[in-house]
Chains A and B, each alone.
Chain A
Amino acid sequence: MINIKRVADIYLKEFPAVDVLDGVSKTMAFLLETDNSCCAVMDEGNLVGVITYKDLMRTHPNRIIADAMRGRPVTVPAEISFWQAKELFEDTGVEAVLVQEEGRLSGILPRNLLEIQLGSHIDLLTGLYRSDYIYYHGVRLLEDKQEISIVFFDINNFGVIDKTYGHTVGDIILIEVSRLLRENTPSEAFLCRFGGDEFAVLLPAYLDEGAALAYRLTDIVGQHSFSHDIDVSVSAGVTGGRRHEERDDDPWSTMEQLITIASLRSTEAKKSNATLITVGNQPINEIA
């Protein structure tokens, strides 16, 4: 099963901290000295909040930390995934959150630490997210009982391109295909490089919309003039469905099966030696 990293895997259990009665000037000096952009705030031994350098810059230097903290601190359970934490940072605009584990506040997660960790989930060559990105969003949509469709793309004869023109040119082709997919994928969809010459798009939409997108994207790639005038095309497989009722089984395994089916469909399309789309209509209640 896919392993999605959780906040529990990365948050700081040992962290720099100041007291709620410490002064703003002293705390600024402390953050500069320890090379941190934020730190925890303690009150009588309890973790009560987070103070950032930005908060301090906006506050009169004579004030105490209790008067420099902005709003109520945001607290997250340690079990939430990276991706949920990322969304929360984007929604709230905070620089750090408190982390709760086993019923008590036990650490902090600064935004920059999460961003560093998210970097390892981004494919360095193409700048696209890796596969766990669409697993997370797929599971989230399934749990919300939303219709989803998955489009899986394979670059046709990529091995031949690699052998004929070399890996550097192969990489350029991957970058160009990624750019085309990214520029033409709707904003509500989720795109990732699944691995090698495979890409996947998750859509919160009915299967026919997924199929329409697959046709459109394969057409865009097929029409594009690639470097070295290499003829590049992609095959696509589409699947989709919805969980129609409350189910006890694991949405992660449902998602894995859907991706496997989409991947097999794209392989079938590839083997048929044409830019062909085969659509596998999967009622999820039957396969899950």
Chain B
Amino acid sequence: MNVMKEAKKAEIQMHLTEFEMPPMQDVVIVGRNAPIGPEALKRMVDVLSPDQYKIIKVDHPVIEAIVVRNALMNMIPEEKLSKFILEEGGKIVDASSIIKAHVNITVHVSKSIDL
């Protein structure tokens, strides 16, 4: 009679990366049925990065709210920025998702002065 020998092995892998502080970038887009709602996000953000983010609840069929870094709104008015985010974000977000977005704003200024 042949006897099968069994052996169990475990392999452990560990990936170390730096914790993002806060664990979001410039913008978070929250879907209407996302597992985390805007109030929960607001409370998390307020604890981790007080006074740095603003929650904007929006009237949109899929998106419930956007969380925006205040610094961005110092460069572009809130309504223009949120309109842009909703237009672009609305194309890829579904009601159950939470999407974080990196937003780069470059302001070009050109002035003429008298010599």
Point out residues on A near B: beta carbons under 8 Å: 20-21, 59-60, 62-64, 66-68
Given contacts A60-B34, A62-B35, 10 further A-B contacts (CB under 8 A): A21-B43, A59-B37, A60-B33, A60-B96, A63-B36, A63-B40, A64-B37, A64-B39, A66-B37, A67-B40
Q: Are B34 and A66 in contact (CB under 8 A)?
A: no
Of all chain A residues, which has the CB nearest B96?
A60
Of all chain B residues, which has the CB nearest A63?
B37
Point out residues on B near A: beta carbons under 8 Å: 33-40, 43, 96
- Give CA–CA (A20, B42) in the complex, Å: 13
- Give CA–CA (A20, B36) in the complex, Å: 14
Q: Are A64 and B34 in contact (CB under 8 A)?
A: no
- Give CA–CA (A231, B34) in the complex, Å: 68
Main secondary structure of the interface of A (DSSP, over half): loop
Q: Tell me how far the C-beta of B11 lies from the nearest C-beta in chain A, rounded to whole angstroms.
A: 31
Chain B residues whose C-beta falls within 8 Å of the C-beta of A67 in the assembled complex: 36-40
The 26 listed contacts between A and B (C-beta, < 8 Å) are A20-B39, A21-B43, A59-B37, A60-B33, A60-B34, A60-B35, A60-B37, A60-B96, A62-B35, A62-B36, A63-B35, A63-B36, A63-B37, A63-B40, A64-B37, A64-B40, A66-B37, A66-B39, A66-B40, A66-B43, A67-B36, A67-B37, A67-B38, A67-B39, A67-B40, A68-B37
